[in-house]
Amino acid sequence: MSRAYNFCAGPATLPEEVLRQAREEMLDWQGTGMSVMEMSHRSDEFVAIAETAEQDLRELAGVSDDYAVLFMQGGASSQFATVPLNLLGEKSSADYVNTGIWSKKAIAEARRFADVNVAASSEAQGFTTIPGQAEWQTRPDAAYLHYTPNETIGGLEYDFVPESGGVPLVADMSSTMLSRPVDISKFGLIYAGAQKNIGPSGLVVVIIRKDLLGHARPGTPTMLDYKTIADNGSMYNTPATYSWYLAGLVFKWLKAQGGVAAMGEINQRKARKLYDFIDTSDFYANPIEPRFRSWMNVPFTLADDGLNAEFLKGAEARSLLNLKGHRSVGGMRASIYNAMPEAGVDALIDYMTAFEKERG
Catalytic residue numbers read 102, 172, 196
Which of these segments, 22-30, 72-80, 317-325, 335-343, binds ligand PMP (CB under 6 A)?
72-80
**3-state SS class at 150:** strand
Q: Choose among 204, 207, 136: nearest CA to 170.
A: 207
Alpha-helical regions (H) of the chain:
16-24, 44-61, 75-87, 101-110, 226-231, 241-256, 259-280, 308-317, 342-359
Report how far residue 80's alpha carbon sits from residue 86's, in angstroms, rounded to the nearest whole number.
11
How many Cα atoms within 13 Å fall on the side-chain side of residue 316? 8
State the minimum distance, in angstroms, from the CB of residue 74 to ligand PMP: 7
Element (DSSP H or E) covering residue 22: helix 16-24
Q: Choose among 244, 223, 360, 234: nearest CA to 303.
A: 360
**How many residues touch ligand PMP (CB under 6 A)?**
12
Our CB check for ligand PMP shows the closer of 54 and 172 to be: 172
The single residue among 21, 35, 52, 77 that binds ligand PMP, judged by CB under 6 A, is: 77
Residue 197 binds to ligand PMP (criterion: CB under 6 A): no
Which of these segments, 84-92, 172-180, 217-225, 258-266, binds ligand PMP (CB under 6 A)?
172-180
Which of these segments, 69-77, 227-235, 299-307, 308-316, binds ligand PMP (CB under 6 A)?
69-77
Omega within 30 of 0 (cis) for the link into 11: yes
Which of these segments, 73-81, 220-228, 262-270, 279-287, binds ligand PMP (CB under 6 A)?
73-81
Residue 75 binds to ligand PMP (criterion: CB under 6 A): yes
* Interface pattern 92-131 for ligand PMP (x via CB under 6 A): ----------x-----------------------------
Report how far residue 168's alpha carbon sits from residue 274's, in angstroms, rounded to the nearest whole number.
35
Report how far residue 27's alpha carbon sits from residue 271's, in angstroms, rounded to the nearest whole number.
38
Going by their DSSP bridges, the two strands 67-72 and 204-209 should be labelled as antiparallel
State the minimum distance, in angstroms, from the CB of residue 171 to ligand PMP: 10
Report how far residue 259's alpha carbon sits from residue 250's, in angstroms, rounded to the nearest whole number.
11
Contact partners, residue 217, CB within 8 Å, separation at least 6? 85, 86, 88, 89, 113
Residue 152 binds to ligand PMP (criterion: CB under 6 A): yes
State the minimum distance, in angstroms, from the CB of residue 196 to ligand PMP: 7
Our CB check for ligand PMP shows the closer of 96 and 355 to be: 96
State the minimum distance, in angstroms, from the CB of residue 11 to ligand PMP: 9
Report how far residue 316's alpha carbon sits from residue 93's, in angstroms, rounded to the nearest whole number.
48
Which of these segments, 12-20, 167-175, 271-279, 306-314, binds ligand PMP (CB under 6 A)?
167-175
**3-state SS class at 244:** helix
Residue 148 binds to ligand PMP (criterion: CB under 6 A): yes
How many Cα atoms within 13 Å fall on the side-chain side of residue 271? 26
Residue 174 binds to ligand PMP (criterion: CB under 6 A): yes
Our CB check for ligand PMP shows the closer of 267 and 302 to be: 267
Residue 7 binds to ligand PMP (criterion: CB under 6 A): no
State the minimum distance, in angstroms, from the CB of residue 280 to ligand PMP: 29
Taking CB positions, which residue lies at the least distance from ligand PMP? 75
Element (DSSP H or E) covering residue 61: helix 44-61
- What residues from 224 to 263 belong to the interface with ligand PMP (CB under 6 A)? none
Our CB check for ligand PMP shows the closer of 83 and 87 to be: 83
Backbone angles phi, psi at 147, to 5 degrees: -145, 170
- The distance between the two most distant Cα atoms of the chain, rounded to a whole number of Å, is 63
Our CB check for ligand PMP shows the closer of 49 and 192 to be: 192
Residue 175 binds to ligand PMP (criterion: CB under 6 A): yes
Decide if 315 contacts 277 (C-beta within 8 A): no
Q: Choose among 237, 351, 236: nearest CA to 284.
A: 351
State the minimum distance, in angstroms, from the CB of residue 174 to ligand PMP: 4
**Contact residues for ligand PMP (CB under 6 A)?**
9-10, 75-77, 102, 148, 152, 172, 174-175, 193
